[in-house]
Amino acid sequence: MAEGGSTTVEPALDAGSAFRSRDFRLYQVARLLVILGAEAQSVAVAWQVYQITHSALDLGYTGLALFLPGLFCVLPAGHAADRYDRRGIILICYGLQFVCTGALLWFAFFGTGGNGHRIWPIYAVLVGIGMGRAFSGPASSAMLPSLVPKEHFVNAVTWGASIYQIANIAGPAVGGLLFTLQLTGALAHWNGAAVVYAFTLVMLAGFLVMIGMIRTRVVMAEKKAFDVRTMLAGLEYVWKAKLLLGSISLDLFAVLLGGAVALLPIFATDILHAGPRGLGLLRAMPSLGALVVSLTMLVKPIKHHAGKTMLVCVGIFGAATVVFGLSRSIWISLVALVLIGASDMVSVVIRSSILQLATPPEMRGRVSAVNWLFIGASNEFGEFESGLTAHWWGAVRAVVIGGIGSMMVTGTAAALFPRLRNADSLTAESLMEANREQSMAEPID
């Protein structure tokens, strides 16, 4: 393309261009393993908690235990990701998660004390896992751009989203299968939870080996003092960079309000009368829609009008949520959930690309930490919000009102953030230009 009288030749891209990088291949295989293990483990934890307490509220607290460490650690986690070796941070954090999963395995064999009826030890372990995620999340996100050439970054994000969805679909199924597995012989005394936690430990070990093999070394930011101003730099940057603020806040409020997925057991049981098999289908549909869209975007990536596309897709997300809430047909509900997952995936790819490409390398850790806090708020805390509003208004009204709220958020974001609305191609040059207000501001430590 021509710019300023000069001609540059864009490199040829294909659907698998990001996988030409050795470190990216290692990283994605590692992610596939660890997400499979984590999703399988979540099934076992949920069953264990429910078997001990028989309380839906106690199940909700598992998400809160994972979210709270991120809330309190977001600033130091982002600072650490910009100050220290990101690969080292990831290894330490997942080493901590390995220890925590080992503790869950111990509980599966020997109980949690109090005749097996104490729940707080499991919550304590989940807080430890949440702590590891709080620090590893920003480091992982900030490390990704260094694993591939910048012209392959959007392809890398799309592949990462696809792999996540594959693991997100397969992980709970694997966890459920292993949980019901009946072992014989020397392993006959292993219960279902123990089998799942052992599987997760193997996945974590594979992850640590793969990450340890990555050779990429990232140029870190200048080692400034570990003070409040330096830690707050990520929040300050996002606040001033309206392109980033718009994309992150749009996703936060849309997903926080449109939390239909958290209420699927109620819809499957009381509204659609679909039973356990129907619940399984309902849970799979958002991931199926997301996977189909992410694979499509590998072949036909977004080249122009990224901001408008994101806004339209978030609007579709809200409308599909309303349709799901009003539906009394299992087939209409399944289609609505596919649309929810598909539209959300487009938003995820665009937001992730904007986040990394419009942020200077030395700020990516702290900005990624802010993003991870928003994601945690929209996901784990969003489950709590969905349950609370369903308790107040009923499940149908909660979902319908939430979907309408998501559409209203979309319209508000379009009006408040013209830089997001006018964002064009997902390239570093285009996004930095759209975000040039930040570069004109005073430098941030």
Domains of the chain in sequence order: 18-218 (1.20.1250.20), 226-445 (1.20.1250.20)
Residue 20 near residue 152, CB atoms below 8 Å: yes
More confident residue, 439 or 51: 51
How confident is the model over 386-420, as pLDDT tens digits? 667 777 888 888 888 888 988 998 888 888 888 88
Q: Tell me what the pLDDT averaged over the chain comes to.
A: 78
Q: How many helices (H) and strands (E) does the chain have?
A: 18, 2
Q: What's the confidence (pLDDT) of residue 102?
A: 94
- DSSP class of residue 301 equals -
Q: What is the mean pLDDT of residues 30-36?
A: 93
| 297 vs 164: CA distance, rounded Å | 15
Continuous segment of H or E residues that includes residue 48: helix 22-53
Q: Taking residues 77-103, what's their average pLDDT?
A: 88
Contact of 249 with 311, CB cutoff 8 Å: no
Dump pLDDT digits (tens) for 92-124. Answer: 999 999 999 999 999 888 877 655 568 888 899
Is the pLDDT higher at 437 or at 93?
93
Dihedral, CA atoms, 173, 174, 177, 180, nearest 10 degrees? -110
Give dist(CA 227, CA 73) in Å, integer: 14
Say what the alpha-carbon torsion angle 353, 359, 360, 364 is, to the nearest 10 degrees.
-80
- In which band, very low, low, confident or very high, does the pLDDT at 4 lie, cut at 50, 70 and 90? very low
**What angle, 0 to 180 degrees and rounded to 10, lies between the N-to-C axes of helices 120-143 and 86-110?**
160
Cβ count near 55 (within 10 Å): 12
The CA-to-CA distance between both ends of the chain, in Å, stands at 35
Asked if 79 contacts 362 with a C-beta cutoff of 8 angstroms, the reply is: no
Per-residue confidence (pLDDT) for residue 126, from 0 to 100: 92
Asked whether the predicted pLDDT for residue 5 surpasses 50, the reply is no
Q: Is 85 helix (H, G, I), strand (E, B) or coil?
A: coil
3-class secondary structure, 302 = coil
Dihedral (CA of 322, 326, 329, 330) sign: positive
The one-character DSSP state at 6 is E
Q: Residues 165-217: pLDDT tens digits?
A: 788 778 877 877 787 776 666 666 777 788 889 999 999 999 999 999 988 76
Predicted pLDDT of residue 186: 61
